[in-house]
Amino acid sequence: MAQEVNLAQLRALVAVADAGGFGSAAAELGVSQSAVSHAVAALERVLGAPVLHRGAPARPTPLGERILPHARTAVASAAAVRSIAEHHSGGLTGTVRLAAPTTVCQGLLPALLRDWRAEHPRLTVRVFEGEDDELAVWLEAGTVDAAVLVDAGRVPPGAVPLGADSMHALLRRDHPLAGEASVDVADLEDDDFLLSEGGCEQHIRDAYRRAGVRFAPRHRIRDLNTLIGMVHAGVGVSVMPALAQPMLPPDCVLVPIRPAAHRTLTLTGPAGRPWSPAVTGLLAAVRPGRDRSAAPR
Alpha-carbon dihedral of residues 281, 284, 285, 287, nearest 10 degrees?
A: 170
Task: Name the pairing type of β-strands 94-100 and 146-150.
Answer: parallel
Domain spanning 164-262: CATH 3.40.190.290:
yes
| CA–CA distance, 143 with 100 (Å, rounded to integer) | 13
- In the chain, the amino acid numbered 107 is G
Q: Name the residue among 12, 17, 45 with its Cα closest to residue 31.
A: 12
Query: 10 Å Cβ neighbour count for 34?
Result: 10
Burial status of residue 207 (CB atoms within 10 A of its CB: 0-12, 13-18, 19 or more): buried
pLDDT given at position 212: 92
| CA–CA distance, 3 with 12 (Å, rounded to integer) | 17
Q: Name the residue among 288, 284, 286 with its Cα closest to residue 87.
A: 284
| CA–CA distance, 79 with 117 (Å, rounded to integer) | 20
Alpha-carbon dihedral of residues 264, 128, 118, 282, nearest 10 degrees?
A: 60
pLDDT given at position 265: 95
Could you tell me the residue ranges of all domains in the chain?
A: 1-90, 92-163+264-284, 164-262
| CA–CA distance, 63 with 82 (Å, rounded to integer) | 29
Query: 10 Å Cβ neighbour count for 188?
Result: 22
Domain spanning 92-163+264-284: CATH 3.40.190.10:
yes
- pTM score, whole prediction: 0.71
| CA–CA distance, 146 with 28 (Å, rounded to integer) | 18
pLDDT given at position 291: 45
pLDDT given at position 90: 57
Instruction: Classify domain 1-90 by CATH architecture.
Output: Orthogonal Bundle (1.10)
pLDDT given at position 287: 67
| CA–CA distance, 70 with 48 (Å, rounded to integer) | 17
> Tens-digit pLDDT profile for the chain (297 aa)?
357 888 889 989 998 998 899 999 888 888 888 888 988 998 999 999 999 999 889 999 999 999 999 898 888 888 777 666 665 555 677 889 999 999 999 999 999 999 999 888 888 899 999 888 889 888 888 888 999 999 998 888 889 999 999 999 999 999 999 999 999 999 998 899 999 877 688 899 999 999 999 999 999 998 899 999 999 999 999 999 999 999 999 999 999 999 999 999 999 999 878 888 889 888 988 865 544 444 444
Give the phi and the psi of residue 261 in degrees, each rounded to 5.
-145, 145
Query: 10 Å Cβ neighbour count for 211?
Result: 16
| CATH fold match for the domains 92-163+264-284 and 164-262 | yes
